[in-house]
Amino acid sequence: MFGWTGTTLRVDLTKGTITREATDLELAHDYLGARGMGGKIMIDEVAPDTDALSPANKLIFSPGPLTGTFAPSAGRFEVVTKAPLNNVIAGSNSGGAFGPELKYAGYDALIIEGKAAKPVYLWIKNDEVEIRDASAVWGHTTPDTTDLVRAETDEDAKVACIGPAGEHLSPIANIMNEMHRAAGRSGVGAVMGSKNLKAIAVFGTGAVTVADPDRFKAAVMKARKLIQAHPVGGTGLKAYGTDVLVNILNQTGALPTRNYQDGYFPTADKTGGESLAAKQLVRPKGCFSCIISCGRVTKVDNPAYAGYGEGPEYESAWAFGADCGIDDLDAITKANFLCNEHGIDTISLGSTIACAMELFELGVITAKDTDGVQLTFGNVPAMVEMTRKACTGEGFGAKLAQGSYRLAESYGHPELSMTCKKQETPAYDPRGVQGIGLNYATNNRGGDHVRGYTIAIEVLQNGAVMDPRVTEGKADLDITFQNLTGALDSAGACLFSTFGIGAGELAEMLSAVTGVEYSVDEFMKIGERIWNQERLWNLKQGYTTDDDALPKRLLTEPIKTGPAKGEVNHLDKMLPEYYQLRGWDEKGVPTKAKLKELSLA
């Protein structure tokens, strides 16, 4: 057995039992690992009507077959669970070194079920696995938790944990690993919190084996060269991080501003990666096996917002920046630090604060609701203070920590929540970039960019050029990216490796590692299978074609200023074609023939 370790670890927190089982390799061939395999395990084991925060939900940590090898920038893992935010299959992807360590400890996946009677953490040292008391760690921030758990286990253990937000069951809480990397979206941290599981520490001394070492090395050398020669993968991301996108999207006229009231922010440059590199950046950092190094070690000296940590990524800088009408990068970086320390999703929280700002300016909420804070767009100290409150769950912060859909709905204005399937849409305005709108609407986890990153072509012209303003060809483009990402995530690769390589290189590395021959077609088919599997789950959750939608504002209120002035999104022109190309009926239900073709029926 190569690539996979062959063993899956199961921990039942209710019973306190720890069991090992053989990884189903036939399934692994069809679903690879990480998102695909995790999703398959969840569908097989969790009843669709399970309450996401009940002991019956399961929390699965799963690396991919490439994880732990030197395939470039492919050391990732996925946290899979039923999402408390919106009931979808939450697959939150993270880097760092936690996923590889799980493999070296001997596991293809870790399945956590039940609920501990009191706070615990899990300590995995190869085949010694223990459930330990975490009462002394509960309540601590993620960096402090990491240090405390390491002091009790091993100083080199890799630690994934929740912060106070996960403990408070915020549906936008995340899971942090190695202090700064986040499995960020859909509230996976709340599921961990609901299980009374504060942290997982792993130390592994085993190996990941390779079927054909010579072939693998040759494939890796080729992939590395392609990424290193790419202007984004090889140079841009290391120099400026993902936040380099601020200026690019602003110049496209698709930088959502003030809760999507506009698509252009005149002073956006102050919040971009170039500004970050000039001021807050200490040095670039890389995840395990990464050759791109987009990570930002950053510090803020300004005493009002002083701190040290990592980030922000582009989407975080946008959420606390342009979306809140803010151009103070010290403050944005501080908000990002607070989120990481307390374990809450930056995109969702920033967008929720923006939504609250609009509610405030409209007079729907007043200073009475916001603990006396004048929560207007552009109010920098207010933004940071609200972030802090959401992190700790104090006062109005407890409402913000529910995400923008629940917030806006509670005040009778769900239309001001910029969400798809209740999850906040990230930093690309669908009115200025048509295809990403289709992706938000059809995305299996709701408002999400990474699983159908049409921006790569529509804006960044990576390998092909397409006009962002047109709808033609976007259904096909979106489907290609959605399928590619399904397979890429499940292999353990980082999305950014596509700034240099594609399905061909990934399939070749996968074949060499596992000894199972994957053609490009088969690789893409795996992605399509995973996408359809997730779709079927969503249909069981009661989602219908009516939910393949965008916030009304994006369809009816044109962008007011900037290069995309006057534009709205034309989802209706793309969605029928999308269904048709997917082999789904006009209601968005996969046909029998399609499911058969994908071995899903």
Q: Residue 153, interface with other proteins (CB under 8 A)?
A: no
- Sole window of 287-295, 350-358, 482-490, 572-580 interacting with other proteins (rule: CB under 8 A): 287-295
**Per CB under 8 A, which of residues 98..137 are in contact with other proteins?**
100, 104
**Minimal distance, residue 293 CB to other proteins, in Å:** 5
**Per CB under 8 A, which of residues 158..187 are in contact with other proteins?**
178-180
Fill in the per-residue mask, 35 to 64: x = in contact with other proteins (CB under 8 A), - = not in contact. ------------------------------
**Minimal distance, residue 214 CB to other proteins, in Å:** 9
- Sole window of 83-91, 308-316, 544-552, 553-561 interacting with other proteins (rule: CB under 8 A): 308-316
What CA–CA distance (Å, rounded) separates 20 from 110?
9
Closer CB to other proteins, 292 or 401, in the complex: 292
E strand residue ranges, 83-205: 89-94, 109-113, 120-125, 128-133, 158-161, 175-177, 181-183, 197-203
**Minimal distance, residue 220 CB to other proteins, in Å:** 9
Sole binder of other proteins in the list 33, 38, 63, 68 (CB under 8 A): 68
In whole angstroms, how far apart are CA 344 and each of 164, 335, 423, 531?
9, 11, 14, 26
**Per CB under 8 A, which of residues 460..489 are in contact with other proteins?**
none
404-409: long-range contacts, CB 8 A cutoff, minimum separation 24: 404/348, 404/351, 404/352, 404/354, 404/355, 404/356, 406/171, 407/352, 407/355, 407/356, 407/359, 408/355, 408/359
Closer CB to other proteins, 286 or 558, in the complex: 286
Closer CB to other proteins, 293 or 561, in the complex: 293
Place of tokens 């979206």: 185
Enter the tokens of residue 69: 């090898």
Sole binder of other proteins in the list 14, 205, 267, 410 (CB under 8 A): 205
Sheet holding 89-94, edge to edge: 17-22, 7-12, 109-113, 59-63, 77-82, 89-94
Closer CB to other proteins, 82 or 103, in the complex: 103
Enter the tokens of residue 154: 């091993």
Q: How many CB atoms lie within 10 A of CB 485?
A: 22
Place of tokens 């990230």: 426
**Minimal distance, residue 156 CB to other proteins, in Å:** 8
**Minimal distance, residue 205 CB to other proteins, in Å:** 4
Closer CB to other proteins, 221 or 464, in the complex: 221
**Minimal distance, residue 571 CB to other proteins, in Å:** 40
Closer CB to other proteins, 131 or 218, in the complex: 218
Q: Left if phi > 0, otherwise alpha if psi is -120 to 50, otherwise beta: which for 278?
A: alpha
- Sole window of 6-14, 20-28, 202-210, 526-534 interacting with other proteins (rule: CB under 8 A): 202-210
Closer CB to other proteins, 146 or 348, in the complex: 146
CA 148, chain centre distance (Å): 26
**Minimal distance, residue 509 CB to other proteins, in Å:** 13
**Minimal distance, residue 69 CB to other proteins, in Å:** 5
Closer CB to other proteins, 92 or 141, in the complex: 141
CA angle in degrees (0–180, nearest 5) for 228-493-218: 55
Q: Residue 289, interface with other proteins (CB under 8 A)?
A: yes
DSSP string covering 263-280: S--TTGGGGSHHHHHHTT
What CA–CA distance (Å, rounded) separates 193 from 69?
31
Q: Count residues contacting other proteins (CB under 8 A)?
A: 38
Q: Residue 228, interface with other proteins (CB under 8 A)?
A: yes
**Minimal distance, residue 162 CB to other proteins, in Å:** 17
Closer CB to other proteins, 244 or 281, in the complex: 281
Residue 541: half-sphere exposure toward Cβ, Cα within 13 Å: 26
Sole binder of other proteins in the list 117, 282, 593, 601 (CB under 8 A): 282
**Per CB under 8 A, which of residues 390..409 are in contact with other proteins?**
none
Q: Residue 217, interface with other proteins (CB under 8 A)?
A: yes
Sole binder of other proteins in the list 48, 55, 206, 502 (CB under 8 A): 206
**Minimal distance, residue 291 CB to other proteins, in Å:** 4
Contacts with 536 (C-beta within 8 Å, 6 or more apart), sequence order: 43, 590, 595, 600
Q: Of 94, 215, 91, whose CA–CA distance to 514 is shortest?
A: 215
Contacts with 27 (C-beta within 8 Å, 6 or more apart), sequence order: 37, 40
Q: Residue 340, interface with other proteins (CB under 8 A)?
A: no
Q: Of 360, 371, 367, 418, whose CA–CA distance to 396 is shortest?
A: 371
Closer CB to other proteins, 64 or 562, in the complex: 64
b/e per residue 546-580 (b: at least 16 CB within 10 A) = ebbbbbebbbeeebeebebeebbbbbeebbebbbe
Q: Residue 233, interface with other proteins (CB under 8 A)?
A: no
Q: How many CB atoms lie within 10 A of CB 520?
A: 15
What single-letter amino acid sits at 451?
Answer: R
Sole binder of other proteins in the list 146, 348, 425, 498 (CB under 8 A): 146
What are the start-end ranges of the H helices in 366-432? 380-392, 397-400, 404-410
**Minimal distance, residue 282 CB to other proteins, in Å:** 6
As a whole number of Å, the end-to-end CA separation of the chain is 28
What CA–CA distance (Å, rounded) separates 25 from 43?
17
Could you give the angle at which helices 380-392 and 346-361 cross, rounded to 10 degrees?
Answer: 120
Q: Residue 97, interface with other proteins (CB under 8 A)?
A: yes
**Minimal distance, residue 278 CB to other proteins, in Å:** 17
Sole binder of other proteins in the list 22, 49, 128, 213 (CB under 8 A): 213
- Sole window of 194-202, 289-297, 378-386, 469-477 interacting with other proteins (rule: CB under 8 A): 289-297
- Sole window of 285-293, 368-376, 439-447, 486-494 interacting with other proteins (rule: CB under 8 A): 285-293
| Contacts with other proteins, residue ranges (CB under 8 A) | 68-70, 72, 97, 100, 104, 143, 146, 178-180, 205-210, 213, 217, 224, 228, 282-291, 293, 295, 297, 308-310
